[in-house]
């Protein structure tokens, strides 16, 4: 499972702090910028206040992040796309050759050699059915009905920090500050995404808040 942070709002914490400060000051834009540029600690203080005290998470909507994910199962992409404030694009099985997709076998299955063999047979059978269908001229949009939910997919998606905070709360592991009840693969995805955004927004994502 490969997660790439493709792009994010430049200087995201500064922009969010600027939005927060706008609420409490009548200074013109240039003075607000100067006030915050000359005092980075003030940026952190403002952000913690709006998140922890005011619960004004609209302020962090000004920070936007675009991700690329590959090697995620379609089981988990179904769960991911339930997050309605994210914007998605996903590889189309109507267009790409589904035979090129990989297949995820859960670790617990791998521990049982006999069961693992059954899973591998299932995957081989699914691939064979798709291959024969392709040779017989069946359209890709129909062949995909024979693909398995464990097949891997690629997506790009964009989300703001508020939508991410909610996602991290629901989907991250307990160790990372989520509530820890989500399924293992989406936990792995959420934890990896959190690591990426913490590196650019250490104050906003210093802790996951229930939102």
Ligand X SMILES: Cc1cc2nc3c(=O)[nH]c(=O)nc-3n(C[C@H](O)[C@H](O)[C@H](O)COP(=O)(O)OP(=O)(O)OC[C@H]3O[C@@H](n4cnc5c(N)ncnc54)[C@H](O)[C@@H]3O)c2cc1C
Residues that bind ligand X (CB under 6 A): 82-85, 166, 170, 181-182
Q: Which residue is nearest to ligand X (CB)?
A: 84
Least spacing, CB of residue 167 vs ligand X, in Å: 6
Q: Which is nearer to ligand X, 19 or 164 (CB)?
A: 164
**Nearest one of 185, 190, 189, 195 to 168, comparing CA atoms:** 190
Q: Which is nearer to ligand X, 37 or 85 (CB)?
A: 85
Least spacing, CB of residue 196 vs ligand X, in Å: 19
Q: Which is nearer to ligand X, 166 or 192 (CB)?
A: 166
Q: Which is nearer to ligand X, 62 or 127 (CB)?
A: 62
**Nearest one of 103, 211, 167 to 196, comparing CA atoms:** 167
Is 82 an active-site residue? no
Least spacing, CB of residue 7 vs ligand X, in Å: 21
User: In this structure, how many other beta carbons lie within 10 angstroms of the beta carbon of residue 73?
Assistant: 23
* Matching residue, tokens 């003030």: 42
Beta strands in 74-167 (DSSP E): 87-90, 152-160
Least spacing, CB of residue 160 vs ligand X, in Å: 11
What CA dihedral angle connects 150, 153, 155 and 161, to 10 degrees? 30
Q: Which is nearer to ligand X, 37 or 82 (CB)?
A: 82
Cα separation, 140 vs 95, whole angstroms: 7
Least spacing, CB of residue 25 vs ligand X, in Å: 29
User: In this structure, how many other beta carbons lie within 10 angstroms of the beta carbon of residue 13?
Assistant: 24
Helix (H, G, I), strand (E, B) or coil at 63: coil
Contact criterion met (CB below 8 Å) for 153 and 74: yes
Which structure tokens are listed for 65? 């992040």
Cα separation, 68 vs 66, whole angstroms: 7
Q: Active-site residue numbers? A: 171
């Amino acid at each position: 499972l490969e997660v790439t942070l493709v792009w994010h709002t430049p200087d995201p914490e500064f922009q969010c702090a600027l939005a927060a400060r706008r609420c409490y000051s009548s200074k013109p834009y240039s003075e607000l910028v100067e006030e915050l540029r000359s005092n980075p600690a003030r940026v952190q203080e403002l952000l913690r206040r709006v998140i922890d005290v005011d619960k004004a998470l609209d302020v962090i909507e000004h920070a936007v992040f675009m991700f690329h994910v590959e090697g995620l199962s379609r089981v988990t992409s179904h769960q991911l796309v339930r997050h309605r404030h994210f914007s998605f694009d996903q590889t189309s099985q109507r267009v790409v050759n589904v035979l090129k997709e990989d297949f995820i076998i859960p670790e617990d299955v791998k521990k049982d050699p006999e069961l693992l063999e059954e899973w591998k047979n299932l995957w081989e059978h699914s691939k064979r059915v798709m291959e024969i269908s392709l040779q017989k001229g069946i359209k890709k949009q129909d062949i995909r009905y024979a693909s398995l939910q464990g097949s891997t997919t690629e997506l790009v998606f964009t989300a703001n920090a508020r939508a991410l905070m909610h996602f991290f709360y629901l989907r991250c592991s307990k160790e990372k500050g989520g509530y820890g009840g989500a399924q293992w693969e989406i936990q792995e995805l959420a934890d990896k995404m959190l690591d990426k955004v913490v590196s650019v927004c250490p104050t906003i994502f210093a802790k996951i808040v229930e939102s």
